[in-house]
Amino acid sequence: MRMKALGVALMVGFAAFTTFYWITDAPRREGFSTNREDQLLEFGLLVFLPDDTFTLDVEISPEGFTQEVGDAREPVTSVELFANSSISFKNVTGATVTLTGTGTTPFELEILDEASAPLRFGDEGETTVTASAVDGELVVTAGLPHLQPYGANCARCHGVDGMGGTLADGTPVPNLHSLSLAQNWAQTGGAQSLNNYVSWVISLGGVVRSGNINSPMPAWSQEFGGPLTRQQIEALTAMIGAWAAETLANPPPEEVPDTVEAGAQVYVEAGCGGCHGADLAGVPGTFPSLQAVGTRLTGDLPTPVSREAQRQQDYANDPRMFLELWIRDSSGNYNEGNPSGMPPHPEGQLTASQLRALITFLLSQTE
């Protein structure tokens, strides 16, 4: 009898556990997914930024170790960071302290009052940090290390906010928050696929965007001779994809003013400089110069088109209308649908007002 009662109790308990697990399974999986996404975004930002930004700030006060939380400082007993990252310790005790680390990253360091000292935690594992005449300790847990290079330092060209611009030598750099990038990202799978447009450009380089094999944007994937691992590219893709999703949720005003200045920005953001250069000089024999397109049309095309006479006539009759036809679909309008070397720019990629401003900028180029 007792065995029967025990069996019934076990069955009831197992059924209750199964029901509980089933009810809580979806929230648990959602929490796991959210946590993984947060980790990807954090890792992506660290790869995007230069090495010297991989730093946490901790103060050593008479009460122990503290970190800034909002507008105040709060006690902290443990921190987590990626291996190969640093913590900057600032001494505000009023006296010199000796900082000691035992565990994975052993060290001993004196820090003068009001001075700061950065320490890099190069290996995975735990390091216990104590300070002389200070209560408490800080446990530093270094997780997955950044493989060489620690960061891709995308910010070197695209800026720490990813807004792009131009380099010192005038090379245009795309805005990673642009609507055209966001649309390409969404059209190739978006957040549902990490093998999307953003991933392709990072992995293979700027040739994906411009068709220019000499694009200043190199291939970053180790599979194609670059330095980044698959995990690093996945993290960067997730981070830039988050920017793209934000852009699509809050698209910029569609109307671009019809000015030379606005058109110059469209030239940069649309990636025209990837082929024709920041100075519009092009590459002889590969990409035509646009430096005098406002006064004459070059016939030196690397890929001759079947309707060259019509192309020249259309330019002579109405340069603005010709440029619209050429930029929108050079292949269909002037080469019987065959590749012309000039990629199409449909309205989903370049709005009417963007194209108008771009043409105004191009027509201002008279050498």
What residues does each domain of the chain span? 55-143, 155-249, 260-363
Please give the mean pLDDT across all residues of the chain: 83
> Which residue's structure tokens are 């250069």?
277
Q: Provide the CA 137 distance to its chain's centre, in angstroms.
A: 36
* Class of CATH domain 260-363: mainly alpha
Hey, what are 288's tokens? 């035509």
Kindly state which CATH superfamily the domain 55-143 is placed in.
Cupredoxins -  blue copper proteins (2.60.40.420)
Mind listing the pLDDT tens digit for each residue in 39-50? Answer: 778 888 878 876
| Helix (H) or strand (E) run with residue 64 in it | strand 64-69
pLDDT at 31 over 80: no
- Assess whether pLDDT exceeds 60 at residue 150: no
- 8 Å CB contact between 150 and 84: yes
88 near 58, Cβ under 8 Å?
Answer: yes
pLDDT attached to residue 149:
47
pLDDT confidence band for 37 (50 / 70 / 90) = confident
Contact of 108 with 171, CB cutoff 8 Å: no
For residue 349, pLDDT beyond 50: yes
3 state SS of 189:
coil
Question: What phi and psi values does residue 281 have, to the nearest 5 degrees?
Answer: -75, -15
- In the predicted structure, residue 11 carries a pLDDT above the cut 70: no
Cα(269)–Cα(279) distance, integer angstroms: 15
Predicted model pTM:
0.50
Neighbours of 123 (CB within 10 A): 12
| Per-residue confidence (pLDDT) for residue 321, from 0 to 100 | 93
What pLDDT band is residue 168 in, cutting at 50, 70 and 90? low
pLDDT given at position 36: 66
* Phi/psi at 366 (5° precision): -125, 15
For residue 103, what are the β-bridge partners? Answer: 127
